[in-house]
Amino acid sequence: MLLYEFFEKIAVYEGLEDFILVFLIVVSVFVIFALISYLLVVIGKWKIFKKAGVAGWKSFIPIYNTYLFCQICGINTTWVWISLICFFVSITIPLLSFISSVLSLYFVILQAVSLSKSFGKSEAFAIGLIFLSPIFYLILGCGKSKYIGPIAMNDIFFKENKDNVVNEKQSVNNFSNDTTAVGNARFCSQCGVEIDVNDLFCYNCGHKCK
């Protein structure tokens, strides 16, 4: 009887060890996947910032990078503070967590659609930015997509500044003296890559060409 109980305990411990092993494998795979996804997003954002004429290293600074991101996309920067308030409200006042979650989700959609438009992409691309962020940020940053200027989604909370719209339209029609023209072609004076005559920024190095 005692021998039976001994082997029964061993079997239980062996089953527990198997469970722990499987659990550790699952957690390890999840952590590796999360790190790879984060790395892809970081690389994508770095390149996106450069294309928009902003130093890539600034994409690493918390809060400030969101502020710059809003400027790149033409989003009202008040959303940076709203998102911070929503975060603290969700962890301190559970009763208001639903409202903060809705606002946070809206901000995510606002960023994705605005970023897509600022690079001449459609709303369908914005869906990819939301659900497959690592891949689509990398496509936008490392691909041939060009930054055409801040074009924000229609914000239901903040009305668009008309002065900014006028300035944006004027900047599209202005060309930089800081570029080199050969025949009908234009080249970035910073890196020498050929750019389109309507480009405001060099798609390769992010140098301003307006």
Task: Read off the pLDDT of residues 188-205 as tens digits, 9 standing for 90 and up.
Answer: 666 656 666 666 666 566
Residue 66 belongs to a domain: yes
Residue 125 belongs to a domain: yes
Q: Which tens digits make up the pLDDT trace of 138-192?
A: 999 998 888 888 888 988 888 754 444 444 444 444 433 443 333 445 666 666 5
Q: Which tens digits make up the pLDDT trace of 120-129?
A: 888 899 999 9
Q: What is the pLDDT of residue 26?
A: 84
Residue 175 belongs to a domain: no
Alpha helices in the chain (DSSP H): 2-51, 64-73, 78-92, 97-118, 123-131, 133-142, 162-173
Whether the pTM exceeds 0.75: the reply is: no
Q: Which tens digits make up the pLDDT trace of 91-147?
A: 888 888 888 999 999 999 999 999 999 998 888 999 999 999 999 999 999 988 888
What's the whole-number average pLDDT of the chain?
A: 77
Side by side, the strands of the sheet bearing 185-188 are 179-182, 185-188, 194-195
Residue 161 belongs to a domain: no
Question: What interhelical angle do 78-92 and 64-73 show, nearest 10?
Answer: 130
Residue 171 belongs to a domain: no
Determine phi and psi for 37, rounding to 5 degrees: -60, -45
Residue 168 belongs to a domain: no
3 state SS of 208: strand
Pair of tokens at residue 126: 């914005």
Q: Which tens digits make up the pLDDT trace of 53-103?
A: 889 899 999 999 999 999 999 999 999 999 999 888 888 888 888 889 999
Please give the tally of structural domains in the chain: 1
Task: Give the domain extent around 136.
Answer: 2-148
Residue 55 belongs to a domain: yes
Residue 111 belongs to a domain: yes
Q: Are 126 and 115 in contact (CB under 8 A)?
A: yes
The Cα 194–Cα 204 span in angstroms is 9
